[in-house]
Amino acid sequence: MLQSAELAIAEYSKIAHSDAPRLTLLKQARAYVSEAEALTGSRAAGDKIREKINAQLDLLLEKRSSPTTVFHQSPGTTRSRI
Burial (CB < 10 A; 0-12, 13-18, 19+), residue 66, is exposed
For the chain, the structural domain boundaries read 2-81
- Give me the pLDDT at residue 79, please: 54
Confidence at 20, pLDDT banded by 50, 70, 90 = confident
Mean pLDDT of 12-28: 83
The residue ranges of DSSP E strands in the chain, in sequence order, are: 71-72, 80-81
27-66 pLDDT, tens per residue?
999 999 999 999 988 888 899 999 999 999 998 888 877 5
Please report the pLDDT score of residue 80 as a whole number.
46
On average, the pLDDT of the chain sits at: 81
